[in-house]
Chain A
Amino acid sequence: MKLYKHLYILPLLYIFTACSTTVPAISEYRINTNLTTEEFTQHGCKDNSLKIAQAFSSSNLMTQSMRYGEGDFKQYTFRESQWAESPNRAITSEFLAYIKNSNLFKNVQISKSRSKNGLLLETNIVDFMQYFSADEKSSYSNVSIVLTLIDTKSNSVLATQSFSSRVEAKELSAEGGVVALNAALKSVVIEGGEWLAGVCK
C-alpha cells in the first residue's frame, strides 16, 4: 500500500530526465573588424552633426542565431555557433565607431541620442552571411550594404550608395566564415567612409 502512495514520483522522474539532456557546447562569435580609423581632410560636413540610424535588415540578422547558406537555395542555422550580439546592432556599431573617428562631422551619435542633428545615415543590410558550396568543399562570406545620407531638416536624400564585398573563407567552418565576414565588413565600412568623405567635399 505504501508503494502506491509514491507512484506520483514516476511521472516526475520521467519529466526530470529531461534535465539529463546534453546539448553541444555553443561558441559565440562577435563582429570585430579591427579597423584603424582614417582621418579624412574633407570639411564639407564639419558643421553638421550626424546620427547613425539602427540598421534595417531581415529578421534573421536581428537575432543571435548564426545562419549559413548551402548551395544556391538552402539555408541552415549553425548548431554549435551563434553571434554574441545580433549582426544588425554590431554592424551599426562598427559604422558608428569608424565614422565617429573620421573627423568628417561635428559629432556622430547613435539614433538613440536625444541630441539634434542635421544629417542622418541610414544603413540597409542586404546580405551578411556565410555560404558553402553544395558539396561543402568551399565557402565564402558575403556582405552587401546600402548607405543613404539624409538631410533631416528637409527629409531629402543627399546621397545613396551600395557597397558589397565577398571574401573566401579559409576554413570550412563557422569560425572561418566569421573571419571572412569580418574582413568583408571591414572592406565595406572603409568604402562607406570614403564615400561619405566624397559626399562631404
Chain B
Amino acid sequence: MNNKVNYTVVGLLVLLGLTMILAFSYWLLQPTVDEKTSQYIIYFDESVLGLNIDAPVKYRGISVGKVTKLKINPNNSEQVEVLVTILRTTPVKVDTAAKLTAQGITGLSYINLSMGGNMSDSLKRLEGAEYPVIKSIPSFFENFEKSLGSVSTNLSNTLIQTEKLLNDENQEQVALLLERTAGFMDKLERLLDDKTIVSLQNSVQNLESTSSKIDKVIPNVDTFIKKSVVWEENIHKSMDSIMVSYLGITLSMDEIRRAISSGEFNIKEITSDLVPTMNNTLLDLQEVMIKFQDTLNQYDRSPSDILYKQEEIKKAPGEK
C-alpha cells in the first residue's frame, strides 16, 4: 500500500472547501434590494407583555418587519419604547397606527399596523428626533380592561342602587303591592267570567258598529258644515243688511235730533194740537159705538123689529 499523501492537494481541497463555505455564507446572508428597511419608534402606554425582540410587525396581516429593540421610555417611565425595523416599501403614513395584538393562545404578541390612508402623507421624522414615531392605539385587552373597569363601576353602582331599592321598607311595599295585585287579579278573574267576556265582546261589536255608523255620519257632518258655511255667509249678509239699516236709522235719528234741537220738529207743539182733537174724536166714536151696540142689542133681542116692530116694550108708569 502506498502511503504517499499529497499534502498539497489536501491543502488545496481544504482551501477550496473553506472558500465554498464562505461563499455559501455570503450568499445566504447577502441582503437583497427589497430587504432595505427603515426604523421607527412606537410608544405604548400599556404593557407589552408577550412582545419580544424579533417579534413580527405586520401591516394589515402581512409581515413587514420586526421588533428590534424594547426599552422603557427614558423620558416617560409609564411608556414602553419599541424600535421596529420595517421594510421601506411599507406605506407608513402619518395616520398609521400601531396596535399590540395577541398571537393566538401562545401568549406572544406582535405589532399590527393599520389605518394608513392612500391620500395621507408618508410619516416623516420630526426635527430633532432620531426616528419617525408611529402612534399607538390601545390593544383589545387594554380596551377590554378599560371597558371591564367601566362595567365593573356601573355594576357596582347598580348594585348599590338595587340595595337601596330593596331596603326593608320597599320590600314591604313591594310585598303589599304584590298582595294587592294578586287580589286585583283574583277579582278580575272572578269579574271576567264567561258572561262578562261575552258582554265585553258585544260591547266591542257595538263599538265597532257605532264606529261604522260614525264613519257614515261624518260625510253628513261635512255636508252640514258646508251648509253651515253657506248659512253663516247668509247670516253675515243679513247682519250687513241690519248694519246698513241701523246706520240708516242712526242717520234718521240724528236728523230728528237736529230737527228737534233747531225747533223744526216740536213734538210738544204738535201733540198739543193733535191729542185733544184725537181725544174728542175718540169720545165721539165711543158714543157712536155705544149707539150701534144699543141698536144691535135691540135687533138681537127682536130681529123682526127691523120690519115689523113686534117687540113688546113694557109700558112705563104714565104711558098709555
Q: Which residues of B contact A176 (CB under 8 A)?
A: 318
User: CA of A63 to CA of B294 in the docked complex: distance in angstroms?
Assistant: 8
Decide if B307 is an interface residue (CB 8 Å cutoff): yes
Least distance between A169 CB and chain B CB atoms (Å): 10
Within 8 A of B (CB), among A47-101: 54, 59, 62-63, 65, 68, 76-81, 86, 88
Least distance between A26 CB and chain B CB atoms (Å): 10
Evaluate contact between A81 and B316: CB separation under 8 angstroms.
yes
User: CA of A63 to CA of B293 in the docked complex: distance in angstroms?
Assistant: 11
Decide if A173 is an interface residue (CB 8 Å cutoff): yes
Decide if A171 is an interface residue (CB 8 Å cutoff): yes
Evaluate contact between A139 and B317: CB separation under 8 angstroms.
yes
Evaluate contact between A62 and B276: CB separation under 8 angstroms.
no
Q: Which residues of B contact A113 (CB under 8 A)?
A: 276
Across the interface, A174 reaches (CB within 8 A) one of B272, B294, B307, B316, namely B316
Decide if B283 is an interface residue (CB 8 Å cutoff): yes
User: CA of A178 to CA of B293 in the docked complex: distance in angstroms?
Assistant: 25
Least distance between B151 CB and chain A CB atoms (Å): 107
Once A112-B280, A116-B272 are accepted as A-B contacts, the answer to whether A79 and B315 lie under 8 Å apart by CB is yes
User: CA of A23 to CA of B309 in the docked complex: distance in angstroms?
Assistant: 8
Q: Would you give the 0/1 interface string for A96-114, flagging 1 where the beta carbon is closer than 8 Å to chain B?
A: 0000000000000001111
Evaluate contact between B287 and A18: CB separation under 8 angstroms.
no
The secondary structure that dominates the B interface is helix
In the complex, how many residues of chain B place their beta carbon closer than 8 angstroms to a beta carbon of chain A? 24
User: CA of A113 to CA of B319 in the docked complex: distance in angstroms?
Assistant: 41
Decide if A140 is an interface residue (CB 8 Å cutoff): no
Evaluate contact between B316 and A68: CB separation under 8 angstroms.
yes
Decide if B308 is an interface residue (CB 8 Å cutoff): yes
Most buried by A among B272, B286, B294: B294
Within 8 A of B (CB), among A107-131: 111-114, 116
Evaluate contact between B294 and A111: CB separation under 8 angstroms.
no
Q: Would you give the 0/1 interface string for A119-161, flagging 1 where the beta carbon is closer than 8 Å to chain B?
A: 0000000000000100010010000000000000000000000
Evaluate contact between B313 and A79: CB separation under 8 angstroms.
yes
Task: Using CB atoms, name the residue of chain B closest to A27.
Answer: B319
Once A174-B316, A175-B318 are accepted as A-B contacts, the answer to whether A21 and B309 lie under 8 Å apart by CB is yes
Provide a sorted-by-A list of 17 A–B residue pairs whose CB atoms are within 8 angstroms: A18-B307, A23-B309, A24-B320, A59-B290, A59-B294, A62-B286, A76-B316, A78-B319, A80-B316, A88-B287, A112-B277, A114-B272, A114-B277, A139-B317, A173-B318, A174-B319, A175-B318
Question: Apart from A18-B309, A76-B316, A79-B315, what 12 extra A-B contacts exist at CB < 8 Å?
Answer: A18-B307, A54-B280, A59-B290, A63-B291, A76-B314, A79-B314, A111-B276, A112-B276, A113-B276, A114-B272, A173-B316, A175-B318
| Interface positions of B (Cβ within 8 A of A) | 272-273, 276-277, 279-280, 283, 286-287, 290-291, 293-294, 307-309, 313-320
